[in-house]
Structure 1
């Protein structure tokens, strides 16, 4: 039924729809639902301890035998900078005082662990069908051991140069992440977000530049976006924001409410939550401190100082200090269970392609 079967055959899936791995926003329930529906469910591990990741993978394997994707970050562990940390805390001081918090209190940790031997042991133990990476690829020795398990490797590119780098490094397919995408940018060969490329322009150029299949991501939330991606030469799509509307999403209530009212021009790239640029719905902290702050600590350390503010305000229903990750196409999403959404998107796209 699908004219381009390169991703279907490569990954062993039935539908060319990959559920984006969304750290903090999805766990095993979504992975199982999407994979059982014929797409590729993805488990994000960057925020999970080894024990928690093992627990989630065990549950997944008990509930589906379909292909799954396990996702990791490939950033370098940051080196702390006391001066930068102090400047960041000083910038947030008035918010601490506003909510009765001690500005001198210890900063909670903010961790997003890079792929290492520990995570590799999980890959070797559970042998997922697909392993995907963000911010490049791991060291060649680690990557070789991943591929030795039989896993297919995916990674995100935000430019043609990054796509070529990933292909040369051993990626079996490239996720072309357009500027419209929610969450963290996969950018890794540069730190200049001012020249990032939109999906419509990026996908065909990546398709022309590499021999491996290309997966389109960014601003795709309905069948029209899927059809457009195929017209641009993509072999599949990766969809994130639309899955945040499903009951399987593990987001907080204020985030869910913000998504329901988000407009096309209400997101921005920000580094205030983690130290790396990521697209989210604009809220108070983004407006007043960023969205891009030159004093935000290195990724992922910036988030630690915001933890007490979120803990104080979220129970009140406030989203002022929480990351509201979202792409630019949130208004195209609808509330359906993840499995139903996957099937509906595929069926509607096929109907339009015919």
Structure 2
């Protein structure tokens, strides 16, 4: 199943496992996907530089096939919102979970430059970026060493900026996608263009391979976005129930048991818009009188609550990121999923060619 993306990036199937920060993506998942012929992607966001380095070493030791590392582009938060006021407003939630701690610090850059150096020194062949475009100097360093670069867009305007910056491929992130929106250009409202509408518009606007993301859960979705002109698909929620997934048992249960109508797009938990299952905690924050600070401030303020909730099984306070196609997630090995998706798509195209 050759496309412009598989040819350029040296993989067998036009399937990218999305880098899901916060635990769901494990080195074992990345290895399994890359070994099966897809592109496994480590999530560099939220982890320390040391942990990222260790994870890259594990992947390198277990596959000779291409893999990627995803990095969060440093944020420029609006600091006019009162972090102390939000911290005070969260006191009830902390007390309910038995959390007694001082207000945490936050890092606007997620150790970005340290992680860039690690990715360079450990010869990671493919680097993807979320939340924008790195400085030209950073991109130049990667390009100088022959690394392939992938950006994420939620609009045509963003896609054009990514191409102009020198990216080798673009993820077209439709509104169905789980987790954080990659929006970085325009006003603060979430860009919520569906995958089936966004993909062909970005394909028509740029001259580099486009990967469709959002609602692509199996070979049917893969075939659909290829028919729309995409050169592949990036799939995240589809891998949340994989045997190698680090997603919590509570999230994996929600994928099966909750309705397709139960995901929402909210900035209540982290300060950036993201899609996940609705909870009472989200509702309380959205209806509260205290303005929600930008990412990463709000992410840091709610993190102790969400971590304690996950440890104690208090689902109502957890962040349960998932896309709209969550009920189609299958419980198989990540490599088996890659092969299945590719076979399903090939069978669909074969039927149409009869």
TM-score clears 0.5: yes
Equivalent residue in structure 2 for 1:342, among 335, 338, 342: 338
Aligned partners of 1:293, 1:331: CA distance in 2, in Å?
Answer: 34
Q: 328-337 or 105-114, which moves further after superposition?
A: 105-114
Query: Following superposition of structure 1 onto structure 2, how do residues 107-122 of structure 1 map, counting pairs within 5 Å?
Result: 107-110=103-106, 113-114=109-110, 116-122=112-118
- Please name the residue that 2:276 is paired with: 280
Q: 287-296 or 297-306, which moves further after superposition?
A: 287-296
- Please name the residue that 1:144 is paired with: 140
Aligned partners of 1:128, 1:269: CA distance in 2, in Å?
Answer: 32
Unpaired runs of at least 5, structure 1: none
- Please name the residue that 2:15 is paired with: 17
- Please name the residue that 1:94 is paired with: 92
Q: Give yes or no for contact 1:46–1:112 (8 Å, CA) kept in 2.
A: no
- Please name the residue that 1:245 is paired with: 241
Q: Give yes or no for contact 2:72–2:112 (8 Å, CA) kept in 1.
A: no
1:264 is displaced (CA, Å) by: 1.5
Q: Give yes or no for contact 1:116–1:142 (8 Å, CA) kept in 2.
A: no
3-state SS, counterpart of residue 71 of structure 1 = strand
TM-score (norm 1): 0.93
Aligned partners of 1:64, 1:184: CA distance in 2, in Å?
Answer: 28
Q: Give yes or no for contact 2:174–2:214 (8 Å, CA) kept in 1.
A: yes
Unpaired runs of at least 5, structure 2: none
Q: Give yes or no for contact 1:218–1:239 (8 Å, CA) kept in 2.
A: yes
Aligned partners of 2:137, 2:307: CA distance in 1, in Å?
Answer: 40
Aligned partners of 2:259, 2:58: CA distance in 1, in Å?
Answer: 36
CA 1:154–1:306 in structure 2 vs 1: closer, same or farther (change >3 Å)?
Answer: same
Q: Which whole-Å deviations, capped at 9, do the CAs of 1:164-186 have from their partners, x for residues lacking one?
A: 01001111111100011001101
- Aligned residue pairs: how many? 349
CA 1:62–1:257 in structure 2 vs 1: closer, same or farther (change >3 Å)?
Answer: same
Query: Following superposition of structure 1 onto structure 2, how do residues 45-194 of structure 1 map, counting pairs within 5 Å?
Result: 45-76=44-75, 78=77, 84-102=82-100, 105-110=101-106, 113-114=109-110, 116-194=112-190
CA 1:128–1:100 in structure 2 vs 1: closer, same or farther (change >3 Å)?
Answer: closer
Q: Which whole-Å deviations, capped at 9, do the CAs of 1:84-140 have from their partners, x for residues lacking one?
A: 1122123223323444545xx412345574473312211221222211001121100
